[in-house]
Structure 1
Amino acid sequence: MPRIAPPSFSILFAAGLLLSPLACRGDTPADGETSTETGDGDGDPGTTELGDGDGDPGDGDGDGDPPPAAYEVGFDVTDLTPTDAELAEGFYLGGYGLYTERGAAEGIHDRVYVRTMAIGYGPEDGGIFAVVDTVGMGNQWTRAIRAEAASMTGLSETQIIVGSTHSHAAPDLQGLWGGVPEGYRARIITDIATSMATAWSERVPADLEVASTTADNRNRRGWDFTDDGLFVLQARNLEGGALLGAMVAFAAHPVVLGSDNLLMSRDFCGYAVDNLEAQLEAPVLFFNGVQGDVSPKVPEGMYADDFERAQAYGDHVAARTMLALEAVEPVGVDMFRGYADFDLSVTNQTFLFAAQAGILDYDFTSRGDTTLVTTQTAYFRFGSEIQLVAFPGESLTRNGLPIKEAMTAPHQVVLGLSGDALGYFVPSDEWNTGLNDNYEESISVGMDAADTTRDVMLDLIGQDPG
């Protein structure tokens, strides 16, 4: 299938003017579109790969060996902060305004990272979960990262998940707001893949423990409910019980820092992680959840600036996490995983024009008069306690909650902006109903994206015999 044609300079300039729907309004973030991984191209839900946990007595690799007695877990934290020279090349933060309208980043308030957790189930099975401090990543980025990490580890790309925290004060790895220099791009693609390989290679036998609670957030489309669930998974070294690290997932847009901020920051996510790492003395990953229409609910108080407000909210999330950790339960040693790639129709004219202009770090394909993006999802069950799915963008509450409700485990997780960052996923029965002035619809690939993606995930969950 042919790719969209490259731009002329005049088209590039015009696209910058037409990207106005991508501007954030108040606490409303602007996001990108598009995807990764190749599908089967037939428009069907795509291919599915199943892992272990299917009820067979073996460990899933076909050699008849018994299942493992324990998980093997490793962590890595790698600094991705740009150098002064890279900043000077023209470096943009993502999330607010027209293309380059916000202006280039002026400095660094706090550093940005990739944090990785590798969970092995036997010598070859398992998954790698990495999250990058960025507003989102285009599919050109995620394809390159997953391919390089697979090459380094010998794992399948279907076992590798890379997500974004979605901070609107972090680097623009989508190209929507000005992007980052090519040298920085090449450097951190390798750094992210290396972080994944390091976590995988440094695995040690470990126990997993899980807990869930809630934290404060709010729905910006007027619903009186949202997904306020907070999930935490931690790993302890089987030998001695030392804490190896933890993963947290919670839904809220990292938009406490506004569009006037030009200093790089991880927003509230960074403060939450720093707080938890100081208390736990171990690495902590923070994934956003079903956050498409979810905003922070900063505690009441007097704050000197938005950084103090971001810290207050991050501290709230950290406090709720620590409270949850007082009641962890062990995770049984059993795993099942599934994978599907599938196509979404791209009908958003702004996205199509921006793609033609070459602004985006995304690839679309065309089939006749239809423009498509191929994306993917991965599903994991750990023991009977955890069900987890990677969502390739920003799911609205009413699209994400049915996915969690289909899970029977006591701890359900949707990792938002993981695998891809394809903008908002709005349920078709909520499409253009006037909620939030239809802002999320303007930053969606199309009306069918949410329903299609939800149904693919429900099918994967249904294939799990556990």
Structure 2
Amino acid sequence: MKKGLHLIVFFFATTVLAAQHNDSGHLLAGAAEAIINPPAGTYLAGYDQNRKSTGVHDNLFVKAVVVANRQNALALVTIDCIGLPYPVVQQIRDAVELKLPANVFNAGHIIISSTHTHSGPDVIGIWGQDMLHTGTDSSYMQFLINTATAVIVKAWKRKRAVVAKYADSAFGEGWVENVSDSLEIDRSVGVVQFTTPGGKNIATLTNFACHPTFLGRENTLVSADFPSGFYKQMNAKLGGINLYMQGAIGGWVQPEKVARTFEEAEQKGKALAAVVSSALKRSKMLEGNEVSFSSSRFEMPVNNKALKQMADTGIIRRDISEGTPTEVAWFSIGSAVFATHPGETSPLYSFATKKLMKNKGPKFVLGLGQDELGYILKPDFFDPGTKLHAAPYLTSMSPGKKAGAAMMQVLADLAEKNDGR
């Protein structure tokens, strides 16, 4: 490289870092990932009971990005599974705190979202041999907790000064549909990228809403579904660690009019990666370098007798009562604002959550964030005589009619506390 070009690159890098510098110091980020494939014979989640894995088609991952400045830090994690229950999130936090004491990193600032693949292990319990036996395997769950802990710690240790950019696009027209309510869907794609000052990709966060259900109930091979193709293409194009962050998929936001094959899943995942790569070519600088985190632990109203019974008998390994502990998080990285939903939420709640966000930068809603409490549906699904498709099934897998309003009230309180930022 010629001397003049060296100077231009140096000037650009230092200018960008200065633009993202204030009393909080430079924005830092580190990322890591690990494979979390279960052994053959593991009960698979998402469709019918007694569906056991017979091998691995493509790898499942836990991926983490730690973002920090001099004043604060958080860890954003995504896991290829049906949905990690809140008690397991707490176990991971406890395990991280043993590795990174509270005076080093606040483990309460760990956010965990699940991709919701239906070709991964049963981490909840309801897809075992039958409705009398749990489908979760204690040894695998401990492996998952240990691996997620190690990945978060590794990401923490890899922190370095970064440049943060964001981009947006849309995807899924013609094949991603809200089967229950076709007029209510969010096909937006949100992206945040962290690079070295020289432009090398450290990590990307991509937020998009679609059930990973290309692979149907007949499949018995472990797979991340379409996120697998997304991971492969993003890795090939950008390098670094690339996270798929699920959006609001309640009310059956899923692929329709597609082939139910591995090839189709991979093709659509790669197509999403192409959209992201193209959007990043016109990316904008993420303003500021603030890192903030707020969360609220609250009791979700649960009026589903079947869920309570499965918890009472140990099929679901958590306490479920009329007030079930869960959590939502509200956090920001620079001018980007994020919120979590503790289950599969109707797109209505995604739009409502984004409306609470008063930032001028990108807005992200992470479905299955911090918990998987089933379908958190708009009240119309529970009305007698409703014509919304599959309402009887969806409501049978929901905490109840009051869940959405309860979640939104907590999010509104957090938004007010943070001035919507």
TM-score (norm 1): 0.78
Answer yes or no: is the 8 Å Cα contact 2:214–2:255 preserved in 1. Answer: no
Query: How many residues align structurally?
Result: 382
> Are residues 1:396 and 2:343 paired?
no
> Are residues 1:436 and 2:389 paired?
yes
Q: 2:223 aligns with which of 265, 288, 309?
A: 265
SS in structure 2 opposite 1:193? Answer: helix
Matched with 1:18 is: none
Question: Aligned-pair distance for 1:133?
Answer: 0.8
SS in structure 2 opposite 1:140? Answer: helix
SS in structure 2 opposite 1:315? Answer: helix
Matched with 1:220 is: 179
Answer yes or no: is the 8 Å Cα contact 2:28–2:160 preserved in 1. Answer: yes
Question: Aligned-pair distance for 1:294?
Answer: 4.5
Matched with 1:141 is: 88
Matched residues in 2 for 1:298 and 1:202: separation? Answer: 40
Question: Aligned-pair distance for 1:165?
Answer: 0.6
Following superposition of structure 1 onto structure 2, how do residues 346-365 of structure 1 map, counting pairs within 5 Å?
Answer: 346-365=302-321
SS in structure 1 opposite 2:309? Answer: helix
Q: 1:150 aligns with which of 97, 120, 127?
A: 97
Question: Aligned-pair distance for 1:191?
Answer: 0.8
SS in structure 2 opposite 1:227? Answer: coil
SS in structure 1 opposite 2:24? Answer: coil
Following superposition of structure 1 onto structure 2, how do residues 175-186 of structure 1 map, counting pairs within 5 Å?
Answer: 175-178=125-128, 179-186=135-142
Answer yes or no: is the 8 Å Cα contact 2:251–2:377 preserved in 1. Answer: no
Question: Aligned-pair distance for 1:298?
Answer: 6.3
Following superposition of structure 1 onto structure 2, how do residues 189-338 of structure 1 map, counting pairs within 5 Å?
Answer: 189-216=145-172, 217-238=176-197, 240-297=198-255, 306-331=261-286, 332-338=288-294
Structure 1 residue identity aligned to 2:277:
M
Matched residues in 2 for 1:150 and 1:390: separation? Answer: 22
Answer yes or no: is the 8 Å Cα contact 2:111–2:369 preserved in 1. Answer: yes
Matched residues in 2 for 1:389 and 1:321: separation? Answer: 21
Matched with 2:402 is: 448
Work out which structure has the larger RCO, using CA pairs closer than 8 Å and 6 or more positions apart in sequence: 1
CA change 1:298–1:284 in 2 (3 A) is farther
Matched with 1:29 is: none
Answer yes or no: is the 8 Å Cα contact 2:60–2:223 preserved in 1. Answer: yes
Matched residues in 1 for 2:137 and 2:291: separation? Answer: 40
Question: Aligned-pair distance for 1:372?
Answer: 2.0
Question: Aligned-pair distance for 1:363?
Answer: 2.2
Structure 1 residue identity aligned to 2:91:
A
Answer yes or no: is the 8 Å Cα contact 2:180–2:388 preserved in 1. Answer: yes
Matched with 1:13 is: none
Matched with 2:44 is: 93
Matched residues in 2 for 1:183 and 1:344: separation? Answer: 29
Q: 2:123 aligns with which of 173, 178, 192?
A: 173
Runs of 5+ unmatched residues, structure 2: 1-21, 129-134
Matched residues in 2 for 1:405 and 1:458: separation? Answer: 10
Structure 2 residue identity aligned to 1:224:
L
Matched residues in 2 for 1:338 and 1:376: separation? Answer: 11
Answer yes or no: is the 8 Å Cα contact 1:247–1:285 preserved in 2. Answer: yes
Matched residues in 1 for 2:377 and 2:140: separation? Answer: 33
Matched residues in 2 for 1:139 and 1:338: separation? Answer: 16
Matched residues in 2 for 1:143 and 1:381: separation? Answer: 21
CA change 1:392–1:150 in 2 (3 A) is farther
CA change 1:225–1:372 in 2 (3 A) is closer
Matched residues in 1 for 2:76 and 2:284: separation? Answer: 21
SS in structure 1 opposite 2:390? Answer: helix
TM-score (norm 2): 0.86
CA deviation profile, 1:201-227 (whole Å, cap 9, x unmatched):
210011111111111121111231311
CA deviation profile, 1:389-444 (whole Å, cap 9, x unmatched):
12111110112211112212331101111110111111224433331231321111
Following superposition of structure 1 onto structure 2, how do residues 45-64 of structure 1 map, counting pairs within 5 Å?
Answer: none
Structure 2 residue identity aligned to 1:418:
G
- Percent of aligned positions that are identical: 26
Answer yes or no: is the 8 Å Cα contact 2:295–2:329 preserved in 1. Answer: yes
Matched residues in 1 for 2:377 and 2:292: separation? Answer: 29
Answer yes or no: is the 8 Å Cα contact 1:163–1:287 preserved in 2. Answer: yes
Answer yes or no: is the 8 Å Cα contact 1:138–1:360 preserved in 2. Answer: no
Question: Aligned-pair distance for 1:297?
Answer: 4.0
CA change 1:140–1:460 in 2 (3 A) is closer
Matched residues in 1 for 2:237 and 2:76: separation? Answer: 22
Of 375-384 and 288-297, more deviation after overlay is shown by 288-297
Matched with 1:188 is: 144
Following superposition of structure 1 onto structure 2, how do residues 22-41 of structure 1 map, counting pairs within 5 Å?
Answer: none
Matched residues in 2 for 1:309 and 1:278: separation? Answer: 19
Give the root-mean-square deviation of aligned CA atoms.
1.8
Answer yes or no: is the 8 Å Cα contact 2:185–2:253 preserved in 1. Answer: no
Answer yes or no: is the 8 Å Cα contact 2:301–2:406 preserved in 1. Answer: no
Q: 2:110 aligns with which of 160, 171, 179?
A: 160
> Are residues 1:378 and 2:317 paired?
no
Answer yes or no: is the 8 Å Cα contact 2:43–2:127 preserved in 1. Answer: yes
CA deviation profile, 1:132-153 (whole Å, cap 9, x unmatched):
1111122332221122123322
Matched residues in 2 for 1:328 and 1:72: separation? Answer: 19
CA change 1:199–1:299 in 2 (3 A) is farther
Runs of 4+ in 1 over 3 A off after TM superposition: 294-300
Question: Aligned-pair distance for 1:71?
Answer: 0.9
Answer yes or no: is the 8 Å Cα contact 1:95–1:168 preserved in 2. Answer: yes
Matched residues in 1 for 2:215 and 2:80: separation? Answer: 14
Matched residues in 1 for 2:107 and 2:408: separation? Answer: 21
Matched residues in 1 for 2:358 and 2:179: separation? Answer: 28
Answer yes or no: is the 8 Å Cα contact 1:298–1:309 preserved in 2. Answer: no
CA change 1:320–1:191 in 2 (3 A) is same
CA deviation profile, 1:62-94 (whole Å, cap 9, x unmatched):
xxxx73231110000111123xxx42xx41111
